[in-house]
Structure 1
Amino acid sequence: MAKKKSTVFMCQECGYESAKYLGKCPSCGKWNTFVEEKISQEADTRSRVSLSKEVSKAQTIKDVKVEQTGRVQTGLDEFNRVLGGGVVPGSLVLIGGDPGIGKSTLLLQVSAELNQIGGTVLYVTGEESPSQIKMRAQRLTISETDFYIYGETDLSLIVETIEKLKPDYIIIDSIQTMYHPRIDSVAGSVSQVRESTAFLMQLAKTNNVTIFIVGHVTKEGNIAGPRMLEHMVDTVLYFEGERHQSYRILRAVKNRYGSTNEIGVFEMRDTGLREVLNPSELFLEERLEGASGSAVVSAMEGTRPLLVEVQSLVTPTAFGNAKRTASGFDYNRVSLIMAVLEQRVGLLLQNYDAYLKTAGGVKLNEPAIDLAIAVSIASSYRETETNVTDCFVGEIGLTGEIRRVSNIETRINEAAKLGFKRIFIPKNNLEGWTVPKGIEVIGCLTLQDVINQAL
């Protein structure tokens, strides 16, 4: 009879299992990521058990009771927006971001806000001691609030504390430091992260407790641990921003209860994170008048319109092959638009280097930004300034046509609110809505039409 193996080799990047050590993972292609882990010999007898010891049972759908519990509004409107309108009771939210970006600071402020509206909050820290959390809370001026701090990494002890306190909200900082004693592997391994998250998911769903999980990210920007971690939770938020800049963007990449790609903008200060309620004004405040290579687009991020400046610098190349650089949007999109400009508008760009970026570090990935990119490139190439009160919205086709985009009325209202006098849009978007006062809407069929009127 064959001997049953008690260990397995597991990839720490993607969770792939192998009976023997492999230098390269056949699943994710990474090298030297396999670690030997013991297989638990105990049967997994877990079931969905609530803190009141009630075991879940099968029932017909007409007998299922729906608790009409509304979303909980925190005092941070930007945080509420990203979650889709507030905190959903019983949800499991994963927040990832680079080290030092401000994840713990954000959740400390959220804990204080939830505590002020009457909720019981338990902040479980596995990376810092309670005294270190207290020092940070003093800096954030929230040290006099009544939410609980618990320094522990053993999930069995954490559950005992939860049974005593019966909190409404739990913060786990971070999931990579937690371990379940039933799993015979080190904290942070694929097995521990997967099992700890599954355990917390059961806890949230069966007891209607909202749990926020902090997750570390890899050097590629993905949340560390198995990919299934993001599939298990209800909402995945990424906290982004340059460490050397004060502005941070909280972006929803998955949300079962709201819109994806929703963003919230914060500014990091000595006293914590401050909400930026009008990010469009922020992204345009340092724009120069009379500068060539600049165009403004009204882009949609989730349900929010953002006015962002697109900058281009086109210069003759000093080498045989022209160089293309793009920061803030897809490089392939830039190459496509430059090809259309050369073939359909007659701009000879093949011997010119092109450098493009979005002001403020925001990332744009929707088709409606095409027109602003094209106008900024043409403006820099011709060394002709664009009107500082012009805005551009539209998708560009390969034949040079300007194609229809969504949410056109919302985009135009945002541009009018910030004082723009003209906005260029696709001609097919002109019907079915009311033009706001103070702005001229120009419908265009082709890219050539826009270039002739704007430059």
Structure 2
Amino acid sequence: MGKIKNYYVCQECGYEALKWSGKCPDCDTWNSMVEEVREAKTSKSSSSILKISNEPQSILEIKSLNYERLDTDIKELNRVMGGGIVKGSLILISGDPGIGKSTLLLQVANNISKKYGKVLYISGEESEEQIKIRGERLQALSKDLYLLSETNIENIEHHVNKFNPIFVIVDSVQTLYHPSISSAPGSVSQVREGSNSIMRIGKSKGIPFFIVAHVTKQGALAGPKVLEHMVDTVLHFEGERTEEFRILRTIKNRFGTTSEIGVFEMREKGLEEVANPSAVFLEDTDFNKEGSIVIGVMEGSRPILVEVQALVTETKAAMPRRTSVGIDNPRLNLILAVLEKKLRLPFYKYDVYINVVGGLNIEGTFGDLGIALALISSIKSCETKLEKLLVVGEIGLTGEVRPVSFSEKIVNEGKKMGFKNFIVPQRNKDKILSDGISVMGVSTLKEVINKVF
């Protein structure tokens, strides 16, 4: 038997120390060091004979595997995951409390059980009766959908081996515990051991596992970073609980792209897919009003049109406010700095509020030009003179309008939505067919101002 040792482990980053300290030396988090008891493994004699089970092989000699995928019957989820759930994969889904993680997974479990066979839904947070109540509301009552309320990893492994399901859901990994580890459920050691056990079961039996993970107050994934490295796919649910729309985004995917998003709408009977997000985000848009511009962005292979609203109001405060929803604050500050320098607009004495309607978080530089025009429209208190205008383009630090990729896809999406006027970077204009629409190419911010206002 090995010697028993005490360690102090940070519950935020997993840093280990022999002595307790008030602040983690690695991540600087206060009061996160928790004592854990561990048995030190005795090292074997160096003269022991190694058992070699395999030999290095050339990559050209290794046979390629055709990964079989399970169809979830939810197109938006299939899109995000690259075409479905790969057998034997380990998928992690996170999001704020009440965002709809358990609802989505129960719908997925119901669909897969009807199509492929037995599915096991393991919950450490709800009883079987509580899950059944939610299943009745969602009409997820397949006879091959089995429920289990369990948190002991050894018992879970026993049930999976005995039951041999097609698909397993674990909600959530922070509730699991292994009897051989003295720390409480949710600690770094327990989360690490639970994930390792689930990965071993799934890979050895070819069973895909969906595991739910909690998030911190800042919205980051709770637990050790090794959890994200261990799994094959990391999904994150975005959106406000008070809003109807939810965005499912891929952070990591070993079997597909990480640039796709899935759009859902929360209804009484569960999450419903949104096949045309542009129509939803622009449903109540007044296309010609002060401080409002419609922009086009690319989310993976899908063009999406959204409305950006800006409010610029004079302030007497020494430090004016810069508040943005759906846009990175550093990107907003960069655009404001360019407008102040190149167009002499006095944003330094104005509070600036900017919002992306519908709850979508814009990534990349597709919306730079549209954001700038919304800010200019608000500070000048004037509307654009072009009806049904769609704007796309990146702004450089010297005030030039730089080209963006997939501009023709965004313009084609705008055509379908009934837009007549388009402003794009000059270098993108040559690739766009202006049949029945007005496409204006611009090179600088000053050139844009003359055409829009």
Q: How does 1:21-100 map to 2 (within 5 A)?
A: 21-41=20-40, 57-58=54-55, 60=57, 61=59, 64-100=62-98
Cα distance in 1 for partners of 2:317, 2:150 equals: 59
CA distance in 1, matches of 2:426, 2:432: 15
Q: Deviations over 1:87-121 (max 9, x none)?
A: 12221110001112111111000001111221431
Unmatched tracts of structure 2, length 5 or more: 45-51
CA contact (8 A) 2:69 2:84 kept: yes
SS at match of 1:75: coil
- Is the CA contact (8 Å cut-off) linking 1:40 and 1:183 kept in structure 2? no
- Contact 1:293–1:385 (CA<8 Å) still a contact in 2? yes
Change (3 A) 1:423 1:188: same
Q: Is the 8 A contact 1:413 1:436 kept in 2?
A: no
Residue 69 of structure 1 and its aligned partner are, at CA, apart by: 3.4
Q: Distance in 1 between matches of 2:392 and 2:42?
A: 59
Aligned partner of residue 229 in structure 1, secondary structure: helix
Instruction: State which of 270, 273, 283 in structure 2 corresponds to 1:272.
Output: 270
Structure-2-length-normalised TM-score:
0.93
Which residue of structure 1 lines up, in the alignment, with residue 234 of structure 2? 236
**Partner SS state of residue 69, structure 2:** coil
Greater shift in the superposed pair: 385-394 or 188-197: 385-394
**Cα distance, 1:145–1:249 mapped onto 2, change above 3 Å:** farther
Distance 2:229 2:355 in 1: 32
| Partner Cα separation in structure 2 for residue 358 and residue 322 of structure 1 | 21
Aligned to 2:223: 225
Q: Which residue of 1 aligns with 2:397?
A: 398
Q: Give, in angstroms, the shift of residue 43 of structure 1.
A: 7.2
Q: Shift of residue 250 of structure 1?
A: 1.0
Aligned to 1:365: 363
**Which string of whole-angstrom CA distances, capped at 9 and with x for unpartnered residues, describes residues 29-59 of structure 1?**
11111111111346799xxxxxxxxx97556
Taking a change above 3 Å as real, the CA distance of residues 352 and 27 of structure 1, as seen in their structure-2 partners, is: same
Alignment of 1:117-156 (within 5 A): 117-156=115-154
TM-score under structure 1 length normalisation: 0.92
Alpha-carbon distance in 2 for matches of 1:280, 1:364? 14
Contact 2:110/2:142 (CA < 8 Å) preserved in 1? no
Task: Give the drift of 1:203.
Answer: 2.1
SS of the residue 2:184 aligns to: coil
Does 2:313 align with 1:315?
A: yes
Are the aligned partners of 1:259 and 1:303 in contact in 2 as well (CA < 8 Å)?
Answer: no
What is the CA distance between 1:174 and its match in structure 2?
Answer: 0.5
Within 1, Cα distance between the matches of 2:78 and 2:254? 14
Mapped to 1, the partners of 2:112 and 2:184 lie a distance apart of 33
Matches within 5 A, 1:201-220: 201-220=199-218
Identity, % of aligned positions: 49
Equivalent residue of 1:198, what SS? helix
Amino acid at match of 2:404: V
Counterpart selection for 2:326 from 319, 328, 348: 328
Deviations 1:324-365 (A, max 9, x none): 222211112222212222222232333222211111121112
SS at match of 1:298: strand
Work out whether residues 40 and 182 of structure 1, in 8 Å CA contact, stay in contact via their aligned partners in 2. Answer: no
Tell me if the contact between 2:113 and 2:142 (Cα under 8 Å) persists in the aligned partners.
no
Provide the aligned C-alpha RMSD in A. 2.1
Q: Secondary structure at the match of 1:109?
A: helix
> Which 5+ residue runs of structure 1 have no aligned equivalent?
46-54
Q: 1:280 to 1:8 in 2, by over 3 A?
A: same
How far apart are the structure 2 equivalents of 1:434 and 1:316? Answer: 40
| Residue identity matched to 1:138 | E
